[in-house]
Chains A and B, each alone.
Chain A
């Protein structure tokens, strides 16, 4: 169909085939890559967290409900932004989902503009999260190259201790500490202590909350 690059992937989870299909029809008309699932279970088994994507899920479904799906994703520390579709009288449920981190909820029948705006917002957020995720993976890869001793030394450097103190702590000579330090700098590709701290602290942080 369209040769334009896709803006991003939109996962649609709804047990009503007509809604799913019509939504796909609508979104593909807007150049989104749409992947539909008829149940939460099917989605969870096939979704790829390395993709920049967002999720539109019906809150009431046969089998696993939208709320449960959200819980599962939170367990996996997935940064996937979510929007829930609510029907009549589901507002309290929708509020619960938002407290848990859902971006928003939309009521059926959809207003097209509002839906598209939401999807745009979600995808932006997803790309940011995806970048952070990539960085994190890099840092962890770098740090994994350090030896145990070097990791111990780095830990103390980050803690702001002097070489002499580190030597005392670890029962090694200052010269050895300096040697380790040089190795660490080299392995992590850091030129300054500030770079070192950035890498080390970034790696120690929990995955950035969305």
Chain B
């Protein structure tokens, strides 16, 4: 910017300098020319004036010599006057200053001139007399300063003394016309070139070559002055140069140059500003372009632009990177494109047609593309129309994303989800998730749907919340309803899952139910429930428990049975031997082949076997003695508690409910709690079994256990335990044989239970009795009760023999 400005200024300076120089040159030349012309004119005028002087001097001599008289003066003067245009007239003054003669230039209008040689012409500074005296004293010719006549003519006079033998005898006065002088003496070419004028000492213009020259001219002129010396006319010759045209032209040029320069500077400035603006715009554009390019390059999305014929017009580096083809290989390519897998050209062509017709779905299309190395990848393609600046569509812009990874991840996710779902679906357990607040079922696996459909109420039921009317409440003692509604989710979800077992009557299944609170995928608080079908396990457990119970309950019975079997075998041996010996003896006695010794021997052997049998019996008696009840202070409540605990399984299995009542402040018992529990348990189980096997309706499926104080006449204070059922009661023949050992109404019963119970109770000095309960004539149930005396501890246990 500065350089062109500087150049312009330099140029301007050069131009100005050149002009100045030219002008200076011209002025100098002009001045020289003027000088020269002035010199020439000066020379001429000088010469002329000297000639005039000479002429006058010659005349004086003629006068002195009297060759010229005053009469002939005019005549004599004619020719010099005629030849000299500047001399208007010559006057001859004698020594006294009297005019002797006078001659006038014939070309001059006499009227227009003052009388030549007038003694003191008007305008002459010094008077004629003075001059006359001066000339007489000096005795030298003398020029007067110029003066202006009344007619406006600028004149001067030449006074030449007439000397006769050194005596002053008059004077010749010549009137010289300045104008005429110049007119005659300035050559015409000089006059054309320059304005030659005469001025007085004061600078007043006297005469000039041209009328147009005037001192009032505005233009500055080149002026040279030269004194008209040596003649002392007190006039200056002035030369003025005509250079008007040159100056005008020069000025115009300068102004034009200046104007042009200014214009150039302005233009320069304008262009500089323009440049600056351009630069800014360019920078912005570059920034934008770089930004876009960076964006384009950094974008993993491949971009491809096509014209309306499907020719590729642009691809970005990502696209190249995706496909492995170089940009120049793709741009300008027409379909089929090299990155189409060979086996999918048809499909891709169809997609391209779809694309070109603008029917590609906005969500994009999934395509399979091939890299240069032949490997294929999945890509998602989005298409948008390519609009140029005029708003016309020029093609299509396609963006392509490699979704192989995404797809793989998605596939993996799907597979994982499928696996997860398969696992969940394949679970034997029912899994369900229910919103706590809305109670809707959010998830249910196959098992759940299979068992419960999609009814969320089953979830609630299994979770132990308030049972729905449609779902029969079957859970025993599982009434701890869920009161967690107001708790924060975090606490709930961290709470450990509880495990419970619930029986669902409609399915006749037992479920082990685990619930836990969790935050669902949308943040809702939900309850997850896993219900495992444990019917088989439950049944097995029940069976095992039953067996264990039976084993426990009848451990003594079994011991007894085993003992009986063992006793039978043990006794058999000696009995057999005795029988054999006897038979042998009998047969021998019959045949008479029996000697006395052998008889004695056999008899001794027989006796030994009888003793052996006796010993066996004795052993049994000592064994039985060892199994006396271990009495200890016991509270009736704890007996009832323990018994109920044991009985619950059986009751639950048989779907029989039990109510127990234990009177307060009962005295302590001194009994073997295990045995009493066994008795009580036996009675409860019998009751439950009676209800269950007879298929009682729901209203009659309950057992009542009461423990109350009672006064028995022969025992004093006692506590009565009674078990009442609402079963079918006992038949009279059963009632008769109730305590008979090995009598049973049950298919699998051994017939020991009640008889053993009686043994136990009686061993505790108690009484047991059974009775039917009646409502009018109808049997409404059956009641077993036994009493235990209070405070009995000293009595010994006598095993009750089953009768």
Give the chain A neighbours of B584 by CB distance below 8 A: 22, 25-29
Which residues 7-55 of A have a CB within 8 angstroms of B? 16, 18-19, 21-23, 25-30
Give the chain A neighbours of B581 by CB distance below 8 A: 22, 25-26
User: Are B565 and A89 touching (Cβ within 8 A)?
Assistant: yes
Which residues 29-87 of A have a CB within 8 angstroms of B? 29-30, 87
In the bound complex, CA of A29 to CA of B591 (Å): 9
State how many angstroms separate the Cβ of B716 from the closest Cβ of chain A: 45
Known contacts A21-B605, A88-B568, A109-B579; decide if A26 and B587 are in contact (CB<8 Å).
yes
- The stretch of B144-152, B549-557, B570-578 in contact with A is B570-578
User: Are B580 and A25 touching (Cβ within 8 A)?
Assistant: yes
Looking across the interface, which residue of chain A has its beta carbon closest to that of B612?
A18
State how many angstroms separate the Cβ of A141 from the closest Cβ of chain B: 43
Give the chain B neighbours of A87 by CB distance below 8 A: 568-569, 572
Encode contact with B along A99-121: 1 for CB under 8 Å, 0 otherwise: 00000000011101000000000
Q: Is A192 an interface residue (CB 8 A)?
A: no
User: Are A22 and B587 touching (Cβ within 8 A)?
Assistant: no
In the bound complex, CA of A25 to CA of B584 (Å): 6
In the bound complex, CA of A112 to CA of B608 (Å): 21
User: Are B576 and A110 touching (Cβ within 8 A)?
Assistant: yes
Q: Is A1 an interface residue (CB 8 A)?
A: yes
**Residue from B576, B591, B605, B612 with most neighbouring chain A CB atoms (10 Å):** B576
How many residues on B have C-beta within 8 angstroms of the other chain's C-beta atoms?
Answer: 25
Give the chain B neighbours of A112 by CB distance below 8 A: 579, 583, 587
User: Are B593 and A18 touching (Cβ within 8 A)?
Assistant: no
Q: Is A2 an interface residue (CB 8 A)?
A: yes
Q: Is B167 an interface residue (CB 8 A)?
A: no
In the bound complex, CA of A24 to CA of B605 (Å): 13
User: Are B605 and A18 touching (Cβ within 8 A)?
Assistant: yes
Q: Is B602 an interface residue (CB 8 A)?
A: yes
In the bound complex, CA of A108 to CA of B569 (Å): 9
In the bound complex, CA of A18 to CA of B578 (Å): 9
Looking across the interface, which residue of chain B has its beta carbon closest to that of A25?
B584
**Residue from B569, B575, B608 with most neighbouring chain A CB atoms (10 Å):** B569
User: Are A19 and B576 touching (Cβ within 8 A)?
Assistant: yes
Give the chain B neighbours of A109 by CB distance below 8 A: 572, 575-576, 578-580
In the bound complex, CA of A26 to CA of B575 (Å): 14
Give the chain B neighbours of A25 by CB distance below 8 A: 580-581, 584, 602, 605
Give the chain B neighbours of A1 by CB distance below 8 A: 593
**Residue from A2, A18, A89 with most neighbouring chain B CB atoms (10 Å):** A18
| Residue from A26, A28, A88 within 8 A of B569 (CB atoms) | A88
User: Are A29 and B576 touching (Cβ within 8 A)?
Assistant: no
Looking across the interface, which residue of chain A has its beta carbon closest to that of B575?
A109
Which residues 577-630 of B have a CB within 8 angstroms of A? 577-581, 583-585, 587-588, 591, 593, 602, 605, 608-609, 612
Give the chain B neighbours of A27 by CB distance below 8 A: 584
Give the chain A neighbours of B580 by CB distance below 8 A: 19, 22-23, 25-26, 109-110
Looking across the interface, which residue of chain B has its beta carbon closest to that of A60?
B569
In the bound complex, CA of A109 to CA of B612 (Å): 15
User: Are A108 and B575 touching (Cβ within 8 A)?
Assistant: yes
Looking across the interface, which residue of chain B has its beta carbon closest to that of A28?
B584
In the bound complex, CA of A89 to CA of B577 (Å): 19
Give the chain A neighbours of B612 by CB distance below 8 A: 18
Give the chain B neighbours of A26 by CB distance below 8 A: 580-581, 583-584, 587
* Top 8 closest pairs, chain A to chain B, by CB: A22-B580, A18-B577, A26-B584, A109-B576, A22-B577, A25-B584, A88-B568, A108-B576
State how many angstroms separate the Cβ of A146 from the closest Cβ of chain B: 53
In the bound complex, CA of A1 to CA of B594 (Å): 9
In the bound complex, CA of A22 to CA of B573 (Å): 10
In the bound complex, CA of A153 to CA of B767 (Å): 93
User: Are A19 and B587 touching (Cβ within 8 A)?
Assistant: no
In the bound complex, CA of A28 to CA of B585 (Å): 11
State how many angstroms separate the Cβ of A27 from the closest Cβ of chain B: 8
State how many angstroms separate the Cβ of A176 from the closest Cβ of chain B: 67
